[in-house]
Structure 1
Amino acid sequence: MNTMVHGVIRDPASSTAEIKTIVSTPPAEAMAVPLPAKEKKQARFSVSLKPFFLAILPPMLGVGLLILIWEIIAIKTSSFPSPWVTLQEAIKVFSDPFYQNGPNDQGIGWNIFASLKRVALGFGLAAAVGIPLGFLIGRFKFLSGMFNPIISLLKPVSPLAWLPIGLLVFKSAHPAAIWSIFICSIWPMIINTAIGVQRVPQDYMNVARVLNLSEWKIFTKILFPSVLPYMLTGVRLAIGTAWLVIVAAEMLTGGVGIGFWVWDEWNSLNVPHIIIAIVVIGLVGLILEQILVAVARAFTYDDVPS
């Protein structure tokens, strides 16, 4: 380390001349050695690539681990298809996803489309009923006391338990499946919307009373903007429930749909197609959720509660 001597001090109390040197180290700026331009460029390049690797590398390792476990299971179990065999079957399945050879022999594209139509109908009806009901329950204590016991009683019921009721009432598998989606999707929307209304700051409501605002003004100017993040969270939860329910319902009711396709392939002992269907079900559910996350971010300023 380089040092600089600024001066000397003679101590008069000492019989001998004691010289004290005042030593200081130069500041860090003076010691810093500038990096060459090439090294600066490399440093900037490595910093810019770090977020990319953090975003890509962990998912790739996770998928690689899943494939490795899959391969080990396939080696240990002769009847279980390997990843390579499943990939070859997937190429065949998706080479013509919209073929039609009869009412019960259609491509996977038509089955996914049929399931999405049922989900759209059941989910849409649940939103049309559940969101307004959630606002009313959160806004009025009388309605909250009236509906809370009903919700607490029916919410834990398994989705498939509602299917026989739908078959009994509607006498057909298609509306029964839509009924099952409706009754299981409505609870998250009601509960989250009601919680959002109840968490609106009381000061806002006091100001509304002072200004003598109408219920419509209170809803459009105060309640709806405050409740929107909670409402969209309920919608996200409901779409996941709806997609789960339709797969199970179609396994029991038959017809056209991704759930029936899984059951039909099991009856044919076509295990690679079952694995393909599992991956497709997961991807479609992920896409539906990401669409709703994008909608939530577009209509709210803050992060949507998870």
Structure 2
Amino acid sequence: MKKILTLDTLYTILSFFGSLVILGIIWELVAIVTEHEIPGPASTWVVFKELIAEPFYDRGPNDKGIGNQLFSSVYRVFLGFGIGSLIAIPMGLAMGSSKFMMRLFNPIVQILRPVSPLAWFPLGLLAFQAAEGATVFIIAITSLWPTLINTSFGVSSIPEDHKNVGKAFGFSTWKYITKIMLPFALPHMITGLRLSIGVAWLVIVAGEMLSGGVGIGFFVWDSWNGLSLEKILIAILIIGTVGLILDKAFSAVQHAFAWENK
């Protein structure tokens, strides 16, 4: 039976808490330099305890607990991310396996990929006639590119020997896809998904600031209007923490499917 707490695990835990200490010191120094115009950790902690005392209250459309705000954002992120992935994976497989498809669609990808999510938002409003739909739309349209590019790269880099094996055994198209293409491209695909979920979580804040209603992005904007810098700092820490958790989750999946572990 493997040890749960190895030396490497202990080192990782200590490094993590060391990073938090360094962050706290820098934060406190910034608060001192700005004469506490930017609140320090102590005053922010007081407000944080108030927020988590009742995280899921609901007193109307624009007055919800921090827990409700966060889960609304997570729901939108995974919805937009899922829609984007359903577009990106098949398209990436097609582009990677066909030079004609690559030449046909790559210019479109390179033109649309750098477009800011804020530029897509008015089109989303026009198409869906609702801020909720527009927010999900901009998450989907901006998060699909890393998955698409990494998937197409993974497929296009399949060695000729692998392809020749499929031909030698007379694999059908479906068998080639399931036995050769997908297994080889899967680590690249998961890397793309890991990058895409990071983009999706990054975009949600800007989208909710524009759309309003409920969500962690709206919470930041509403806190600014209410002149509560402590709440803004709390939201920043929550956004960063959730982003870290999502990245670690996809990193674990990526590690599980890495070729060296096979």
| Residue 22 of structure 2 corresponds to residue 65 of structure 1 | yes
1:222 to 180, 183, 192: 180
TM normalised by structure 2 equals: 0.93
Residues 220-248 of structure 1, C-alpha deviations (whole Å, 9 max, x = no match): 11011111100000000000000011111
Q: Which residue is equivalent to 1:55?
A: 12
Amino acid at match of 2:210: L
Residues 80-129 of structure 1, C-alpha deviations (whole Å, 9 max, x = no match): 21111111111111111001111110001001111111111111111111
TM normalised by structure 1 equals: 0.80
Q: Distance in 1 between matches of 2:162 and 2:44?
A: 58
Residues 8-67 of structure 1, C-alpha deviations (whole Å, 9 max, x = no match): xxxxxxxxxxxxxxxxxxxxxxxxxxxxxxxxxxxxxxxx99646633443333222221
Please list every run of 5 or more consecutive structure 1 residues that lacks an aligned counterpart in the other structure. 1-47
| Residue 196 of structure 2 corresponds to residue 238 of structure 1 | yes
| Residue 50 of structure 2 corresponds to residue 92 of structure 1 | yes
Q: Any conservation in 1 of the 2:154–2:188 contact (CA below 8 Å)?
A: yes
Q: Distance in 2 between matches of 1:282 and 1:68?
A: 18
Whichever structure has more strand as a proportion of its residues is 1
Quote the offset at 1:72 in angstroms: 1.7
Amino acid at match of 2:174: W
Number of equivalences? 257
Q: Distance in 1 between matches of 2:51 and 2:68?
A: 12
| Residue 134 of structure 2 corresponds to residue 176 of structure 1 | yes
What aligned pairs does 1:62-211 form with structure 2 within 5 A after superposition?
62-77=19-34, 78-211=36-169
Residues 150-175 of structure 1, C-alpha deviations (whole Å, 9 max, x = no match): 01111111121111111122111000
| Residue 226 of structure 2 corresponds to residue 262 of structure 1 | no
Q: Distance in 2 between matches of 1:53 and 1:187?
A: 37
Q: Distance in 2 between matches of 1:153 and 1:201?
A: 29
Q: Distance in 2 between matches of 1:121 and 1:157?
A: 21
If you compute each CA radius of gyration, which structure gives the higher value, 1 or 2?
A: 1
Q: Any conservation in 1 of the 2:154–2:184 contact (CA below 8 Å)?
A: yes
Q: Any conservation in 1 of the 2:216–2:235 contact (CA below 8 Å)?
A: yes
Q: Distance in 1 between matches of 2:260 and 2:49?
A: 42
Change (3 A) 1:57 1:227: same
Amino acid at match of 2:69: N
Please list every run of 5 or more consecutive structure 2 residues that lacks an aligned counterpart in the other structure. none
Whichever structure has more helix as a proportion of its residues is 2
Change (3 A) 1:52 1:166: closer
